[in-house]
Amino acid sequence: MPHAAFNADFFWQDGAWRAGEAALGVTAGRFATTTRGERIGRFVLPGMPNLHSHAFQRAMAGLAERRGPGEDSFWTWRETMYAFAEAVDPDDLKAIATQLYVEMVKAGYTQVCEFHYLHHGPRGVPYADPATMSLALIEAAKEAGIGLTLLPVLYMTGGFDGRPLTERQQRFRHDVGGFVRLLERLAPLQDDMFTLGIALHSLRAVPEDAMRALLATGIAKDLPVHIHIAEQIGEVQDCLSVRGARPVEWLLDHADVDARWTLVHATHLTAHETDRLAKSGAVAGLCPTTEANLGDGLFPLAPFIDAGGTFGVGSDSHISVSPVEELRWLEYGQRLVTRHRNVAARVPEESVGTALWQRALDGGTRAAGADIGRLLEGARADLLVLDDASPLLAARDEADVIDSFLFAGNTPLVRDVMVGGQWRVRDFAHAGEEAIARAYRGVVEKLAAA
Ligand code: NGQ
Ligand code: ZN
């Protein structure tokens, strides 16, 4: 018998709304079938996975929006970010990440893929336990009640030419041996709410032989693999001149890129790369608000979907923490450059909102490597209840509720959130939010004063 059972007018299942005659049960944190249950609302959606996060960057959101001496770019932003990263210690990271993860859950994200490269202490001196920063993130996710896919990042060089890391990049550094030891330390901690994966920071940061060596190790064999790729034109040009191929092309030719892989950004693609990436089964990890904020460019969404590609969304630098905003701006970017409407819907009568939500669920779930993203028996019990009482949903039925949710809302419509069978947000509030915000404020004030 399930421990709890819920009913709603509509459950989002297999890419469509199902009238909730059958209730959803929850046993040991997973969905089970049952016949009757307590009514929790009108529209119940699976929670959205956030497939790309650098948690510490949340605390500097908004602090890199002032023009510098020359023309600003991704690379000048990166200097600001590096200066900020220097000061963050394990307790700071825990407080920042906990606040961020609470905000994520309230916004409708129920899993986060943390692309974690801030491993060591100042000047790259390892902590007594080299997993200290990783453990801070694991604790933060537990306290906020969000599922975590932790992706420790291998970071070795400062450019395609193999140049050594700068002073400020020392905290990111590993060799393959040390990196594998970190994975071995973290792997036994996995449970329903914590999945381990790996990341290569970028082709800039990982030489070819190190990539091969890591991917050949036993521990790395079945884990999700994430990599930043082709985000900036400068990176594409450097890759072409040193490796003789564009980044995505090079990776597809030199690694067994398949559904285990997530290529984060993949912004600058030729038509041929777009097609090959789509057919590889890898997830394109799109982060539209960060990509806009950093001046990256636009991903070729329509050709990628048409070639059968899979994508999900991430909040990356956390300039915004909202699946609604990521999906909305994913679509709006396409409209602005193509001068067409309803781009993500590829067949007549398809709703853009439902196409975006379902595709991002599928891609985010694949990227996270966890059994999530479905309101179906056996999956982890993660769900969102939309606010029936919102005027925005007046006279909206199941055909258009997700479009109104994604495109018309400025106040969030996510009223209640369950993760792993536990209510984390009820009536827009998270149980721990006040104490967590207080700790966060203390840390950010300390960092600002330093
Ligand atoms: C990062 N962020 O690792 O945090 C990167 C910037 C880099 C984004 N690419 C640094 N959005 O790529 O070298
Ligand atoms: Zn990133």
CATH of the domain at 355: 3.20.20.140
Do 201 and 117 meet the contact criterion of CB atoms below 8 Å apart? Answer: yes
Distance 39 CA to ligand 2 centre (A): 40
Secondary structure element (H or E) that encloses residue 328, with its range: helix 323-338
Q: Are residues 37 and 113 in the same domain?
A: no
In 3-state terms the chain splits into helix, strand, coil percentages (rounded to 5) of 40, 20, 40
Any ligand 1 atom below 6 A from CB of 316:
yes
Bridge-partner residues for 188, per DSSP? Answer: none
Quick one: 206 exposed, middle or buried, by C-beta within 10 A (0-12, 13-18, 19+)?
buried
State the pLDDT at residue 409: 80
Q: Are residues 134 and 271 in the same domain?
A: yes
Residues 6+ apart with CB under 8 A from 29: 192, 380, 381, 420, 421, 422
Q: Which ligand is located closest to the Cα atom of residue 232?
A: 1
Residue-range definition of the domain harbouring residue 14 = 4-45+383-419
Token pair in block for residue 292: 């806009």
Residue 239 lies in a domain: yes
Residue 67 lies in a domain: yes
Whose structure tokens read 């220097």? 86
Distance CA 422, CA 367 (A): 23
Q: Are residues 30 and 55 in the same domain?
A: no
Distance CA 424, CA 146 (A): 9
Residues 6+ apart with CB under 8 A from 255: 211, 215, 261
Q: Are residues 338 and 356 in the same domain?
A: yes
CATH number for position 387:
2.30.40.10
Residue 222 lies in a domain: yes
Closest residue to atom 5 of ligand 1, CA basis: 78
Q: Which of 316, 362, 382, 403 is catalytic?
A: 316
pLDDT band for 344, please (50, 70, 90 cuts). very high
Q: How many independent structural domains does the chain possess?
A: 2
Q: Read off the amino acid at residue 311.
A: F
- Compute the mean pLDDT over every residue in the chain, rounded to the nearest whole number: 97
Nearest-atom number in ligand 1 for the CA of 204 is 13
Q: Are residues 247 and 332 in the same domain?
A: yes
Distance CA 222, CA 141 (A): 23
Mean pLDDT of 329-357: 98
Do 250 and 207 meet the contact criterion of CB atoms below 8 Å apart? Answer: no
Q: Are residues 73 and 178 in the same domain?
A: yes
Bridge-partner residues for 379, per DSSP? Answer: none
Any ligand 1 atom below 6 A from CB of 362:
no
Mean pLDDT of 50-59: 98
Q: Read off the amino acid at residue 332.
A: Y
Distance 155 CA to ligand 2 centre (A): 13
- Closest to 359 measured CA to CA, from 15, 53, 51, 16: 15
State the pLDDT at residue 33: 87
Residue 79 lies in a domain: yes
Q: Read off the amino acid at residue 51.
A: L
Distance 316 CA to ligand 2 centre (A): 5
Told to judge if 316 belongs to the known catalytic residues of this protein, a careful annotator would answer yes
Any ligand 1 atom below 6 A from CB of 290:
yes
Q: Which of 52, 265, 268, 430 is catalytic?
A: 265
Most ligand 1 atoms within 8 A of CB, residue of 163, 228, 267, 294 to mutate: 228
The DSSP letter of residue 174 is: -
Q: Are residues 94 and 195 in the same domain?
A: yes
Any ligand 1 atom below 6 A from CB of 171:
no
Nearest-atom number in ligand 1 for the CA of 316 is 11
Any ligand 1 atom below 6 A from CB of 185:
no
Q: Are residues 175 and 279 in the same domain?
A: yes
Told to judge if 265 belongs to the known catalytic residues of this protein, a careful annotator would answer yes
Q: Are residues 17 and 109 in the same domain?
A: no
State the pLDDT at residue 407: 97
Closest residue to atom 1 of ligand 1, CA basis: 54
The pLDDT tens digits of the residues spanning 363-399 come to 999 999 999 999 999 999 999 999 999 999 999 999 9
Q: Are residues 412 and 298 in the same domain?
A: no
Backbone angles phi, psi at 11, to 5 degrees: -110, 135
Residue 437 lies in a domain: no
Q: Are residues 203 and 264 in the same domain?
A: yes
Parallel, antiparallel, or unpaired: how do β-strands 225-229 and 283-286 relate?
Answer: unpaired
pLDDT band for 23, please (50, 70, 90 cuts). confident
**Of 303, 334, 368, which closes a domain?**
368
Mean pLDDT of 246-270: 98
In Å, how far are 18, 325, 329 from 290, measured between CA atoms?
Answer: 34, 11, 10
Most ligand 1 atoms within 8 A of CB, residue of 54, 73, 168, 326 to mutate: 54
The pLDDT tens digits of the residues spanning 197-228 come to 999 999 999 999 999 999 999 999 999 999 99
Reported pTM? 0.98
State the pLDDT at residue 1: 64
**Of 325, 340, 368, which closes a domain?**
368
pLDDT band for 22, please (50, 70, 90 cuts). confident
Do 359 and 51 meet the contact criterion of CB atoms below 8 Å apart? Answer: no
Any ligand 1 atom below 6 A from CB of 58:
no
Q: Are residues 123 and 18 in the same domain?
A: no
Please report how many Cα atoms fall inside a 13 Å half-sphere around the Cα of residue 302, on the Cβ side: 15
Q: Which ligand is located closest to the Cα atom of residue 319?
A: 1
Residue 439 lies in a domain: no
Token pair in block for residue 287: 């982060």
Token pair in block for residue 234: 């400068």
The pLDDT tens digits of the residues spanning 408-437 come to 988 889 999 999 999 999 999 999 999 999
The SS3 assignment for 425 reads strand
Residue 443 lies in a domain: no
Residue 195 lies in a domain: yes
Q: What is the number of H-type helices and E-type strands within the chain? A: 14, 18
